[in-house]
Amino acid sequence: MDGQSAVQHLIEGGHMGFFDTLFRRRPTPDQFAKLFVAAARKQGFEGDLTYKADEFRLLLGEGSFFNLHNAYHAYYNTRGAQQQRALQGFVSALASSKQSTPQQATVARPMLRAVIRSRTALEDVRLHHVRTEGDDSAFHPAYLPFGEDCVVLLALDHPDAISTLTNGPEAAWQLTFDQALAVAIDNLRDAPDDFAEIAAGVYRGAWADGYDISRALLPDMIERVPVRGRPVFMAPTRDVLLVAGDNDDVGLANMVELAHQALMQGRSVSAHMYHYEDRQPLRYVPSNPALAQRLAHLERLLDKSEYDAQKEALDHIHEEQGQDIFVANYNLFTSDEEPVMSFSLASWTRGVDTSLPKVDRLALVRPDAEDNIGEVRVVSWEQAAHLLQPLLAREKGYPARYRTQGFPEDAQIAQLDEVP
């Protein structure tokens, strides 16, 4: 792009996302899959395990599957005993898929727990339905939205594993989803407050029982953490709940760095900060400009990883269904001088049916154009989405994508401010 000499391309599209840069000389995904299956068999898993290399997942039979992406990241970003614990943790998660579900409400009620998961966890299941059944008409998850990027699901607490109930409570329990969720959240109170200060101004949940971030569903517990100001929390992974105070810039900055480190371990959930207002979790943006910039960069890093995985799945679906749709990359750029000065960009080319990720900037491409607008005009997403709204149709799924409905006229492009 012209005028972009101070900007370098940080991360190319690829199915493993931004975490690729964290590993050196690691075995291939296929080699890891063999290792994982061997560990599962050694631990006594006797069910079907069919490896699908193009999806990097294991098919378990009866339409269920187990993604290997997070296990791969976690295993090869740790060493020694931590590496083995990471592997065994994911093998245990696999084993939970075969745990029996009690049919008596009296048995199920004390086992119920609420779990917070990224919206991408549900999207993986939805896209699996699309790929195996042709559409997602049979996909009816039961969940409660949590903030912008997470959901709350029901789960059963087994002695050695957590079994997520994506479809909600069993009909035999005669409980609505809301009733079961109230029980599940109340059961989290069985463990007392347990936060430890791990950096200046930052407290981490120390339960280590698989439900650490679930305690974010208990506003009164969050309010009791002894931070400076009102509590602000992050749930970067399923096992890491961090809390700092909104009157403590050092604590908030430390929390962002710790969240970044946690995300490198896999099982990612969210890169956002949240706080409670009227007992509702709301997105929190730091008032300190430098800190807000660092947080935004972390959010883009996770967005990049999620969009890469989504693109890979959609490309497979379109190929199998004979659809000629270009799934645009979520490209991430950063400044040579200041890495957190990042922005995301996607390309929209005239004459190409495109699925666009939501990005900071759009490159509008008119092949062979020779007028004063130029062949490529880079514009802000915010302005383009407003002026070109009829040409962008929101698609189903998460993270957000928009299907192009044609291409803007030259006069419309001329109205858009060019971003340097």
What is the residue extent of each domain of the chain? 16-98, 100-190, 195-284, 303-415
The amino acid sitting at 335 is: S
Cis amide linkage into residue 399, ω under 30° from 0: yes
What confidence tens digit (pLDDT) does each residue in 287-320 have?
A: 999 999 999 999 999 999 999 999 999 999 999 9
The amino acid sitting at 402 is: Y
User: Tell me, what's the pLDDT at 18?
Assistant: 39
DSSP state of 389: G
Specify the pairing of strand 361-365 against strand 342-349: parallel
Residue 58 contacts residue 37 (beta carbons within 8 Å): yes
User: Tell me, what's the pLDDT at 65?
Assistant: 77
User: Tell me, what's the pLDDT at 346?
Assistant: 98
In order along its 420 residues, the chain shows pLDDT tens digits of: 333 322 222 322 333 333 433 334 567 888 888 888 888 888 888 888 889 887 788 888 766 777 787 778 677 767 777 777 778 777 877 776 666 789 999 999 999 999 999 999 999 999 988 988 899 999 999 999 999 999 999 999 988 778 899 999 999 999 999 999 999 999 999 999 999 999 999 999 999 999 999 999 999 999 999 999 999 999 999 999 999 999 999 999 999 999 999 998 768 999 999 999 999 999 999 999 999 999 999 999 999 999 999 999 999 999 999 999 999 999 999 987 787 889 999 999 999 999 999 999 999 999 988 888 889 999 999 999 999 999 999 999 999 999 999 999 999 999 999 998
Tokens of 106: 């009296």
User: Distances from the Cα of 302 to the Cαs of 18, 120, 209, 269, 309, in angstroms?
Assistant: 8, 11, 25, 9, 11
> Which own/partner pairs from 317-320 qualify as long-range (CB within 8 Å, at least 24 positions apart)?
317/127, 317/130, 317/131, 320/131
User: Tell me, what's the pLDDT at 96?
Assistant: 64
DSSP characters over 101-168: PP--HHHHGGGEEEEEEEHHHHHHHHHHHHHHHSSSTT-----EEETTTEEEEEEEE-SS-EEEETT-
